Amino acid sequence: MKDQNRITEEFRVKGMICSRCLKVLNDELRRAGAEILEIELGRVVINYSSQKISRSHIERVIRENEFSLIWDK
């Protein structure tokens, strides 16, 4: 049975400049409970359960690791 509370979302991230940035964000988002579907400099696509983690928590993890969210495409 598919979890109806799972969300797939793309985040545009400012400040990701090297492979170390990818590792840090990957590790921290996984630790928070997100499944990383794609990650590259400036962009991460994650799948997460809204029952376990909120969008605001994901945004906080990104900011706490000294990255910024890009809202305009």
- Radius of gyration for the chain, computed over Cα atoms and rounded to the nearest angstrom: 12
Report phi then psi at 72, rounded to 5: -90, 140
Average of per-residue pLDDT values in the chain: 93
Residue type, 41: L
pLDDT > 60? residue 73: no
What range defines the domain where residue 47 resides? 6-69
pLDDT tens, position by position, 12-24 = 999 999 999 999 9
Residue 28 lies in a domain: yes
CB 22 within 8 A of CB 2: no
Report phi then psi at 2, rounded to 5: -75, 135
The count of domains in the chain is 1
Q: Would you place residue 55 in the very low, low, confident or very high pLDDT band (cuts 50, 70, 90)?
A: very high
Q: Which helix (H) or strand (E) holds 44?
A: strand 43-49
- Average of per-residue pLDDT across 21-50: 97
pTM for the whole structure: 0.88
Q: Which domain CATH number covers 51?
A: 3.30.70.100
- Average of per-residue pLDDT across 28-45: 97
